[in-house]
Amino acid sequence: MKKNIFFNITILLIILTCITPTFVIADDIDTSNETMNITNEIEQNNLQEVSASSVKELQINSRSYVVLDRKTGQILLSKNENEKRKMASTTKIMTAILILEKGNLQDIVTVSKKAAGTGGSRLGLKTNDTIKVEDLLYGLLLCSGNDAAVCLAEYLSGSVKEFANLMNQKALELELNQTHFVTPHGLDSEEHYTTSYELAILSNYALNNEKFKEIVGTKNYTVTINGFPKTLSNTNELLGNLNGVYGIKTGFTNGANRCLVTACQRNNMDIICVVLGADTKKFRTQDSIKLIEYTFQNYEYVNIENKIQTEFEQWKRENLNYFSVEKGICNNIDLYYSPLTYSSFPVLKDKISTLKINFECNFHLIAPIEQNTSIGKIKVICDNEELMSCSLLISQSIKKKNSFFYLFYFLKNYPFLLKT
Q: Are residues 327 and 368 in the same domain?
A: yes
Q: Are residues 149 and 31 in the same domain?
A: yes
Q: Which of 7-16, 257-266, 338-347 comes out lowest in average pLDDT?
A: 7-16
H helical segments located in 103-159: 113-116, 133-141, 146-157
**Does 25 reside within a domain?**
yes
CATH code of 179's domain: 3.40.710.10
Q: Are residues 232 and 194 in the same domain?
A: yes
**Does 173 reside within a domain?**
yes
Tell me the average pLDDT of the chain: 88
Q: Are residues 198 and 237 in the same domain?
A: yes
Q: Are residues 81 and 208 in the same domain?
A: yes
Q: Are residues 295 and 306 in the same domain?
A: no
Q: Are residues 138 and 269 in the same domain?
A: yes
H helical segments located in 20-141: 38-45, 92-102, 113-116, 133-141
**Does 157 reside within a domain?**
yes
**Does 415 reside within a domain?**
no
Q: Are residues 276 and 314 in the same domain?
A: no
**Does 145 reside within a domain?**
yes
Q: What is the pLDDT of residues 198-251, one digit of tens each?
A: 999 999 999 999 999 999 999 999 999 999 999 999 999 999 999 999 999 999
pLDDT of 18 strictly over 50: no
Tell me which residue range forms the domain holding 317. Answer: 302-403
CATH code of 354's domain: 2.60.410
The stretch 397-417 carries a mean pLDDT of 62
What integer pLDDT is reported at residue 15 of this predicted model? Answer: 46
Strand partners, 67: 77, 273
d(CA 283, CA 306): 41
Q: Catalytic positions, please?
A: 89, 92, 144
Q: Are residues 265 and 368 in the same domain?
A: no
Q: Are residues 206 and 120 in the same domain?
A: yes
**Does 3 reside within a domain?**
no
Q: Give the chain's domain count.
A: 2
Could you count the other beta carbons within 10 Å of the beta carbon of residue 111?
24
Q: Are residues 294 and 219 in the same domain?
A: yes
**Does 9 reside within a domain?**
no
pLDDT of 81 strictly over 80: yes
Q: What's this model's pTM, rounded to 2 decimal places? A: 0.85
For 331, phi then psi, to 5°, come to: -105, -5
